[in-house]
Structure 1
Amino acid sequence: MDLVGLTSLMKLTSGEREIAIGLLDGPVAMDHPALTAESIRQLPGGGPCFLPGSSACRHGTFIAGILVARRGGAAPAICPGCTVIARPVFAETTSDGQRLPSVTAPRLAEAICACVDAGAQVLNLSAGMSQPSTRQERELHMALNYAAGHGALVVVAAGNQGTLGSSALTRHPWVIPVVGYGMDAQPMAQSNLGSSMGKRGLGAPGENVTSLSPNGGLQTQDGTSVAAAFVTGAIALLWSRFPKASVSEIKRAVTGGHGPRRTSVVPPLLDAWGAHQTLSVTQSARVTQ
């Protein structure tokens, strides 16, 4: 938490119920003792875990724990006061518990629009996606445009293939792609990098993070999916503190959009407290005008 300035921000707020996070991931084990029913709202198109050993359920529950687990436990529990709108996109088809299932571009595009229509202000996508056709990529692009047009920020995991480049998700100009950083404050070798990450993205903790397991216990995971949830949680807390801030103000504060133009393929680390200080200034100036 200290690495990305979340410790101080989390002392000020646990989030507000009016701030809604669209979780596009695997199903969530709603009966986990560290989760509360008030924190998670399920959308049609998917339900809670039926196969707790599936990789989809393990991943969805893990990410939900980073965001809205009860504080005081081992999970990060960044914004338990906020609302998660869960729209599962990964099917429970495997019990290996390791490999994240993939999702088709049309299914993901549909889920993005459904979360936006349900009132989500920030979407968390940790999607492994098969290579879309030109038509499917256009459909996904339109869904991301829909999110942008409705003032919903989109946070996307950069991917864990250790490659240099972009995807249909990360190259969209509205998306905030997130790279996983290790405990040494350096990008993890497995994390994808590229111009879209360097120009518009952020880094966040992605190594040896502990969160919830669908069996009622805990698990530890690595990767950019983990890192993306830290950025999403920070945005939810900032919007909770500054509910009158515009989507552009939130995005600029989080990504450092007021700073010099970035040229590296490596994004800077999230600085949640720095973003809070920036918003404090801009929102105070608005009040005095």
Structure 2
Amino acid sequence: MLHVGPFDDTTVRALNLARLPPLLEVTRGSPEVLVGLVDGPVAIAHPELVDAHIRELSDKSPGTCRDTDSTACNHGTFVAGILSARRTSGAPGLCPNCTLLVRPIFTETIGQNELTPSALPEELTAALIDCVAEGAHIVNLSAYLVRPDWRRQRELEQAINFAAQRRTMIVAAAGNLGTVQSSVITQHRWVIPVVSCDLEGHPSQSSTLSPSVGRRGLRAPGEGITSLGSDGSLVASGGSSAAAAFVTGTIALLLSVFPKASVAEVKVAVTQNVATRSTAILPPLLDARAAYQSLKRRQS
């Protein structure tokens, strides 16, 4: 049996809420499963990431932090910790044996008071294409788009279509605006949009909801999550970026356990058969155990 933890009480409750412990006991992930991280740069030298399988994809935007105090570095390292930290680090470390493809889009020059780093649509488009071309099985997106004009949005939509053609799953943070609205990302039928919830499963007050999120998305733990700080410490944070990483990590583990499962089978298992959903704006809670059992039945 694999050792899972130690975790603080909040992280334990978050993992239990998403029913992740049984899957965590089965696997740490496979290096053959490639997870694209489109976020900020990552403090790869963090003691809890030194053993992780991490690859940088862009020479133009280095994957390693140059300024560990930057918002971008903190954000990227925090999300990377949820996915790739050692299981004994105190961070979730959901799939530490999977290969993390780091493709930053957040610059380290953004203001310190900017809670959610933003990106231009063309930056996100280029990063997504890079991850898909590199063979990513899943891409985790966390980005608030700025100046999304029609032409740039169309290019981003085409990049998502490219991912769909290559059967690369996309998990995207729905946002933390506390409103009902959608974007070219969350509206796309190929994307699994994710909203944050508290430890009782209630949507966070900051959650950005919409009919497309309700139809095709999930909600996952995203409040008070402990993960890696870029200065080498542990920090508590949250939002839809943290929640999306829980979904991405779950998918990576499922692909590791069931390498012969089709993308369609994995998506149906994780999203709990979106074809049967109502038109409500609130998506169901991530249920990793149910997804695992569903795929196990299909593969038996």
Task: Please tell me the TM-score bracket, short chain as reference.
Answer: over 0.9
Structure 1 letter corresponding to 2:140:
N
TM-score with structure 1 setting the length: 0.96
SS in 2 for 1:170: helix
- Detail structure 1 runs of 4+ shifted over 6 Å in the superposition: none
Listed as ranges, the matches of 1:29-48 within 5 Å are: 29-36=43-50, 38-44=52-58, 45-47=60-62, 48=64
Report whether the alignment pairs 1:63 with 2:62: no
1:222 Cα deviation from its structure 2 partner: 1.8
- Inter-partner Cα distance in structure 1 for 2:86 and 2:270: 25
Listed as ranges, the matches of 1:229-240 within 5 Å are: 229-240=245-256
SS in 2 for 1:35: coil
Residue number among 108, 111, 119 corresponding to 2:127 in the alignment: 111
TM-score with structure 2 setting the length: 0.92
- Aligned match of 2:229: 213
SS in 2 for 1:169: helix
Greater shift, 164-173 or 227-236, is seen at 164-173
Give a deviation string over 1:18-39, Cα, whole Å, max 9, x none: 0010000000001000002541
- Inter-partner Cα distance in structure 1 for 2:143 and 2:35: 16
SS in 1 for 2:155: helix
- Inter-partner Cα distance in structure 1 for 2:92 and 2:145: 27
Give a deviation string over 1:27-75, Cα, whole Å, max 9, x none: 0001000002541100123221011111000000000000000011210
Contact 2:218 2:285 in 1 (8 A): yes
- Inter-partner Cα distance in structure 1 for 2:287 and 2:17: 8
- Inter-partner Cα distance in structure 2 for 1:200 and 1:58: 29
SS in 2 for 1:28: coil
SS in 2 for 1:23: strand
SS in 2 for 1:11: helix
* Structure 1 residues 70 and 37, CA gap change in structure 2 (3 angstroms): closer
* Structure 1 residues 5 and 279, CA gap change in structure 2 (3 angstroms): same
Percent of aligned pairs with the same residue? 49
- Aligned match of 1:287: none
Report whether the alignment pairs 1:27 with 2:27: no
Residue number among 173, 194, 209 corresponding to 1:178 in the alignment: 194
Give a deviation string over 1:109-135, Cα, whole Å, max 9, x none: 111010011111000001011141111
- Aligned match of 1:154: 170
- Aligned match of 2:146: 130
Structure 2 letter corresponding to 1:16:
S
What's the Cα RMSD here? Answer: 1.2
Structure 2 letter corresponding to 1:70:
R
Listed as ranges, the matches of 1:1-289 within 5 Å are: 1-36=15-50, 38-44=52-58, 45-47=60-62, 48-94=64-110, 96=112, 98-257=114-273, 260-284=276-300
Greater shift, 232-241 or 260-269, is seen at 260-269
- Inter-partner Cα distance in structure 2 for 1:204 and 1:131: 28
Q: What is the number of equivalent residue pairs in this alignment?
A: 284
Contact 1:124 1:156 in 2 (8 A): yes
